[in-house]
């Protein structure tokens, strides 16, 4: 069964072709970073317009790379929410129209479920059950995943998402947008003990997280050290990153222990972070846990993960209807 997946929830226009739920035939991601860079964050209206421009070329490229014609597609899967409504509408409306024109079924997919499913795109996918830490620009949450279509939310951030904290911290240090990857790189050359930060929620509040306090602490430190800033940036980046990674890793392992589960997965845009990948692997191994961290191309927003989820729902006979709408806030 050949599924075309489409993703347009934020600032990436993406399309992918997946065969039988797991075999990747193509995955194309058009990033809008250069559009939003100068504004220091995603500008929703500009994002929608760019999606309109890119959706068709991206879909055509995904089909060409997969070596398929439109007539070879059996079904479509498209992100329905959560995300920016204007952005979601572009991919969602395109998918409805395309499926209607081709006379094939389609299904709307939850973006967060998509990220969780990126674990199944790994060459060694996890077995059920496993505990997944989803860390992205919009979400930070822990799930106990028991089947392809069911997961229990164990905890989540009470304020900022981890990726959002990375982006905001990068911004106050003048490192541009998006800042996660820049901090990752700079932190490698810094000493985390030079500018240490408190580990928010480390041993409290169950499996919930909080990142707005550490973001403010970095901001205060930056404002109070204007003269030494140039020299301190790598150390601040390292100190901030070490605190965030410590909390994320600690809670992931603790959540798996709480469910008597020895399998963990790390997914979402921040799962591209080198230090976080390293810590989850070493702490997981130290606790006799099997660790799945998908390849980088499936960590950030992509359509392969959307097609992978869509396959499981379509398999169960679930279909979208022309009257369905997108949703901006999460619903499970
Ligand atoms: O999953 P994603 O592509 O989009 C959302 O669904 O939010 O995640 C984007 C987030 C951004 O906040 C970005 O700064 C962060 O992932 N990110 C990183 C790294 N690469 C991307 N954060 C830390 N280290 C990285 N290497
Ligand atoms: Zn995402």
Q: Is 292 helix (H, G, I), strand (E, B) or coil?
A: strand
What is the atom index within ligand 1 of the atom nearest the CA of 170? 14
Cα separation, 198 vs 25, whole angstroms: 45
For residue 27, which phi and psi values (nearest 5 degrees)?
A: -150, 120
Bridging pattern class, strands 2-7 and 290-292: unpaired
Residues with pLDDT less than 50, the chain: none
Please list, residue by residue across 260-270, b when 16 or more beta carbons sit within 10 angstroms of its beta carbon and e when fewer do. ebebbbbbbbb
At 178 the pLDDT is 86
In words, the CATH class of domain 124-293 is: alpha beta
Write the residue with the smallest CA distance to atom 2 of ligand 1.
Answer: 269
Cα separation, 314 vs 77, whole angstroms: 9
Q: Where are the domains of the chain?
A: 2-116+300-315, 124-293
Residue 153, classified by CB atoms within 10 Å of its CB into exposed (0-12), middle (13-18) or buried (19+), is middle
At 332 the pLDDT is 56
Write the residue with the smallest CA distance to atom 3 of ligand 1.
Answer: 300
Q: Tell me if 269 CB under 6 Å of ligand 1.
A: yes
The number of helix segments (H) and strand segments (E) in the chain equals 10, 10
Beta-sheet strand order (sheet of 2-7): 23-31, 12-19, 2-7, 75-81, 106-110
Arch. (CATH architecture) of 2-116+300-315: 2-Layer Sandwich (3.30)
Nearest to 273 by CA among 302, 306, 251, 240: 240
Cα separation, 202 vs 248, whole angstroms: 9
Task: For Cα atoms 5, 9, 15, give the angle at the middle one, nearest 5 degrees.
Answer: 25
Q: Do domains 2-116+300-315 and 124-293 have the same CATH topology?
A: yes
Q: Tell me if 200 CB under 6 Å of ligand 1.
A: no
Cα separation, 134 vs 73, whole angstroms: 30
- pLDDT 10s digits, 16-35: 999 999 899 999 999 999 99
**Centre of ligand 2 from the C-alpha of residue 182, in Å:** 18
Instruction: Look up residue 147 and give its two tokens.
Output: 């089947």
Region for 318 from its dihedrals, namely left if φ exceeds 0, alpha if ψ lies in -120 to 50, beta otherwise:
beta
């Amino acid at each position: 069964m050949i599924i075309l997946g489409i993703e347009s929830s934020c600032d990436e226009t993406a399309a992918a072709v997946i065969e039988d739920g797991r075999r990747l035939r193509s995955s194309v991601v058009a990033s809008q970073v250069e559009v939003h860079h100068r504004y220091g964050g995603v500008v929703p209206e500009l994002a929608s317009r760019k999606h309109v421009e890119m959706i068709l070329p991206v879909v055509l490229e995904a089909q060409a790379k997969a070596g398929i014609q439109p007539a070879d597609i059996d079904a479509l899967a498209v992100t329905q929410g959560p995300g920016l409504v204007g952005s979601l509408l572009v991919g969602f409306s395109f998918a409805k129209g395309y499926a209607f024109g081709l006379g094939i079924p389609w299904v709307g997919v939850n973006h967060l479920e998509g990220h969780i499913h990126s674990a199944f795109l790994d060459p060694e996918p996890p077995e059920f059950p496993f505990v997944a830490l989803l860390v992205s620009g919009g979400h930070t949450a822990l799930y106990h995943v028991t089947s392809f279509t069911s997961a229990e939310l164990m905890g989540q951030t009470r304020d900022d998402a981890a990726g959002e904290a990375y982006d905001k911290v990068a911004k106050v240090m003048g490192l541009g947008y998006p800042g996660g990857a820049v901090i990752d790189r700079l932190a490698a050359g810094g000493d985390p003990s030079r500018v240490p930060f408190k580990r928010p929620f480390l041993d409290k509040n169950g499996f919930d997280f909080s990142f707005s306090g550490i973001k403010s602490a970095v901001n205060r430190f930056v404002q109070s050290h204007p003269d030494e800033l140039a020299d301190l940036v790598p150390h601040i980046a390292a100190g901030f990153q070490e605190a965030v990674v410590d909390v994320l890793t600690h809670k992931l392992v603790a959540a798996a222990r709480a469910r008597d589960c020895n399998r963990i997965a790390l997914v979402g845009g921040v799962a591209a972070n080198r230090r976080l990948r390293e810590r989850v692997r070493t702490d997981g191994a130290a606790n006799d846990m099997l660790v799945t961290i998908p390849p980088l191309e499936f960590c950030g927003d992509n359509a392969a993960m959307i097609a992978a989820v869509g396959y499981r729902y379509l398999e169960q006979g679930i279909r979208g209807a022309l009257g369905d709408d997108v949703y901006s806030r999460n619903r499970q």
